């Protein structure tokens, strides 16, 4: 097999989940050795499932997947499995190998340097490997996910939302690494600038045809091309609808005239049928969540929150910082700082009500968007998850809000744990709308979210009239939101 030939080949592959949700239908495509590609598609389309088919974790229902012999594949998933959060760092990396690695500590040291997570002091390197995975921040866990794939030195690297939770330095570090990486890379991401820096083409999972479309060019080129296709299909259908209506009116007119004019009426009806047959299904990939408003808690006090101290982490050691920082009604605060400084720790302490030196005013209702969705019950259905946060449980209102977030009848009775990460994010936003909070606490709310939804979410947050604390490393998102205060933990 030559260097340019496809060494990952899908031939008429079909696959559907056990709940009869089709993902692929007779899909055929190939990936050549050394290619760097983006995998795009709607939330819930099945992008992570496609990775499972490539790795062999999932098997196709029909068709054939062929991969060149002796090809090693590793995946950096979106989130660390909950079962791995209690492992030590050393045990977490040991799980990446089927056989015992006797030089694992050396490999760990090398790979932590690659992902820019190695401790600065060599004297604490050994203790660092005994640290529990769940104690790392979201951004640090994102680096661990990447490291767990890279430590295997695979021929094919599959990255599922690798920039989630990464700060600017982390994204720059990852981008530089991937530019220099000489092996095959397929990336799922909604970060356009990141993708355009190193990928050379796009595999697009079309939720309507259940097939893989191949595009050349960058992320923005593909978005424009798909939008143009949608508009072209809409215009075609609009013209056909106009012709159908005109022919129906003519057919009715001639049918009542009798005689030979009935034959004319028949031909008109045949034209109507022909036009109906020529109508195309406008691709549903342009579906976007509806514009929404997050209602503010009534009788919200003027002062919502007052901070007298918080903790930051310096070289993995906590340090207490005193301050005098108040958040009032209608204040929107951007909390900034590098990965691992303590942003999520601060948000969690405020949301839990167990803070030391941080106080949310009594009676303030908190809406907490947690980056790992661990405050959602994964065994609950979407229906129960949304209904439980409502003061007055009105099913009609709940279903209307859910539908606005694309959580329709085919999803609403699904357990949270079976949803894609992007769909979990939409559930979390729907809960905020139904909760009507006084204080919004948002930890990386664009993680996993489809690019089409982000401007809609930004508009809703910009208009929120309560208090808001936001952690986000996405300038394209934060620039669209009114942020009148900044709390910079990195300066402490």
CATH class, range 303-491: alpha beta
Tens digit of each residue's pLDDT (9 = 90 or more) over 47-90: 889 999 999 999 999 999 999 998 999 998 888 888 899 999 99
- Residue spans of the domains in the chain: they are 6-222, 238-285, 303-491
- Banded pLDDT at 323 (limits 50, 70, 90): confident
Res 435 pLDDT > 90 = yes
Predicted pLDDT of residue 48: 87
Please tell me the class of the 6-222 domain.
alpha beta
pLDDT digits (tens, 9 = 90+) for 362-394: 889 999 999 889 899 999 999 999 999 998 778
Per-residue pLDDT at 208: 79
Condensed to tens digits (0 to 9), the pLDDT of residues 194-216 reads 888 888 889 998 887 889 988 88
pLDDT average, residue stretch 85-99: 90
What secondary structure, in 3-state letters, does the chain show? CCCCCEEEEEEEEEEECCCCCEEEEEEEEEEECCCEEEEECCCCCCHHHHHHHHHCCCCCCEEEEEECCCCCEEEECCCCCHHHCCCEHHHHHHCCCCCCCCCHHHHHHHHHHHCCCCCCCHHHHHHHHCCEHHHCCHHHHHHHHHHHHHCCCCCEEEEECCCCCCCHHHHHHHHHHHHHCCCEEEEECCCHHHHHCCCCEEEEEECCCCEEEEEECCHHHHHHHHHHHHHHHHHHHHHHHHHHHHHHHHHHHHHCCCCCHHHHHHHHHHHHHHHHHHCCCCCHHHCCCCCCCCCCCCCCCCEEEEEEEEEEEECCEEEEEEEEEEEECCCEEEEECCCCCCHHHHHHHHHHCCCCCEEECCCCCEEEECCCCCCCCCCCEHHHHHHCCCCCCCHHHHHHHHHHCCCCCCCCCCEHHHCCHHHHHHHHHHHHHHHCCCEEEEECCCCCCCCCCHHHHHHHHHHCCCEEEEECCCHHHHCCCCCCEEEEHHHC
6-222 and 303-491: identical CATH topology: yes
Predicted confidence (pLDDT) per residue in 239-283, tens digit: 777 877 877 877 777 777 767 777 777 777 777 677 666 655 555
**pLDDT, averaged across the chain:** 85
pLDDT value of position 6: 58
């Amino acid at each position: 097999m030559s260097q340019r030939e496809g060494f990952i080949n899908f031939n008429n592959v079909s696959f559907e989940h056990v709940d009869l949700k089709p993902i692929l239908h007779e899909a055929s495509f190939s990936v050549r050795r050394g290619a760097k590609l983006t995998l795009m598609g709607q939330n819930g389309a099945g992008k992570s499932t496609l990775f499972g088919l490539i790795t062999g974790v999932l098997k196709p229902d029909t068709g054939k997947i062929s991969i060149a012999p002796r090809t090693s594949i590793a995946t950096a998933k979106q989130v660390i499995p909950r079962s791995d959060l209690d492992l030590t760092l050393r045990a977490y990396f040991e799980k990446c190998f089927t056989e015992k690695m006797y030089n694992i500590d050396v490999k760990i040291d090398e790979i932590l340097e690659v992902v820019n997570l190695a401790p600065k002091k060599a004297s604490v390197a050994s203790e660092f490997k005994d640290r529990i995975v769940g104690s790392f921040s979201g951004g640090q866990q994102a680096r661990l996910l990447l490291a767990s794939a890279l430590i295997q030195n695979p021929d094919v690297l599959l990255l599922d939302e690798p920039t989630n939770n990464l700060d600017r330095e982390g994204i720059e570090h990852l981008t530089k690494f991937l530019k220099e990486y000489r092996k095959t890379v397929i990336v799922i991401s909604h970060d356009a600038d990141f993708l355009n820096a190193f990928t050379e083409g796009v595999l697009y999972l079309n939720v309507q045809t259940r097939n893989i479309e191949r595009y050349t060019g960058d992320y923005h080129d593909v978005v424009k091309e798909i939008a143009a296709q949608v508009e072209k299909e809409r215009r075609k259908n609009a013209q056909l609808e106009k012709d159908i209506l005109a022919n129906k009116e003519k057919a009715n007119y001639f049918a009542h005239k009798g005689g030979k004019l009935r034959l004319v009426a028949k031909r008109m009806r045949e034209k109507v049928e022909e036009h109906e047959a020529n109508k195309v299904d406008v691709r549903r990939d342009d579906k976007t969540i509806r514009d929404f408003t997050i209602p503010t808690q009534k009788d919200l006090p003027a002062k919502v929150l007052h901070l007298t101290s918080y903790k930051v982490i310096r070289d993995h050691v906590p340090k207490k910082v005193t301050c005098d920082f108040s958040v009032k009604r209608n204040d929107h605060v951007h909390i900034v700082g590098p990965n691992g400084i303590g942003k999520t720790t601060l948000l969690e302490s405020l949301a839990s009500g167990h803070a030391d030196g941080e106080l949310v005013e009594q009676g303030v209702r908190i809406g907490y968007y947690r980056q790992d969705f661990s405050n959602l019950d994964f065994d609950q259905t979407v229906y129960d998850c949304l209904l439980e946060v409502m003061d007055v449980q009105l099913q009609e209102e709940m279903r209307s809000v859910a539908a606005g977030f694309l959580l329709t009848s085919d999803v609403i009775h699904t357990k949270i744990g079976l949803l894609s990460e992007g769909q979990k994010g939409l559930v979390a936003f729907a809960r905020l709308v139904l909760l009507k909070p006084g204080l919004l606490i948002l930890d990386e709310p664009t993680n996993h979210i489809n690019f089409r939804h982000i401007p809609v979410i930004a508009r809703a947050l910009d208009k929120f009239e309560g208090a808001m604390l936001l952690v986000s490393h996405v300038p394209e998102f934060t620039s669209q939101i009114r942020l009148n205060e900044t709390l910079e933990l990195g300066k402490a």
